[in-house]
Amino acid sequence: MRVLIDTNVVIDFLLTREPFYKVASSIMEKCANGELDGYIAFHSIPNLWYILRKTPEEKRREWLLDVCGVLRVKGAGHEDVLKAIRMKDFDDFEDCLQDRCAETTGAKFIITRNVDDFEKSVIPAISPEDFLKVCDSLED
């Protein structure tokens, strides 16, 4: 299953942020072992670099290389960005770009802790916890 992982889930994983780490780690592990076809939006990479700025540069580089080794980076093309600019239903333009990347990737879900921010998205958003429940039900 193809999924787009939102920045907040990656941050939870990298910073071992509780109480979210265990679920984020499970999702990243599923991507790493090939159970999921995981993607991250191109614009999430500089966002992560900035958000993690208190971490030494070498460690940030190591983390981002690790993330890019597990998740494929997906950009939005010119037409996708224009479509995002025209979409007035999103309060946060960055979330709209996440949706555009998810759709062009063919993702089934956007995995995020901010599900409410994606009410108007083309690709359904799902919390990490709910996503793992979906995965468990598919295994039964």
Instruction: Supply the pLDDT for residue 140.
Output: 62
Q: Domain map of the chain by residue range? A: 2-139
**Residue 113 DSSP label:** S
CATH class entry, domain 2-139: alpha beta
- What is the distance between the alpha carbons of residues 67 and 125, in angstroms, rounded to a whole number? 21
What 75-81 contacts at long range (C-beta under 8 Å, 24+ apart), as own/partner pairs, is 75/41, 75/42, 75/101, 76/41, 76/42, 76/43, 76/100, 76/101, 76/104, 77/104, 80/104
Q: Kindly state the tokens that stand for 92.
A: 């946060």
Instruction: Supply the pLDDT for residue 88.
Output: 80
- What is the distance between the alpha carbons of residues 32 and 117, in angstroms, rounded to a whole number? 27
Average pLDDT, the chain: 93
**Residue 117 DSSP label:** G
Ranges of the chain whose pLDDT falls below 50: none
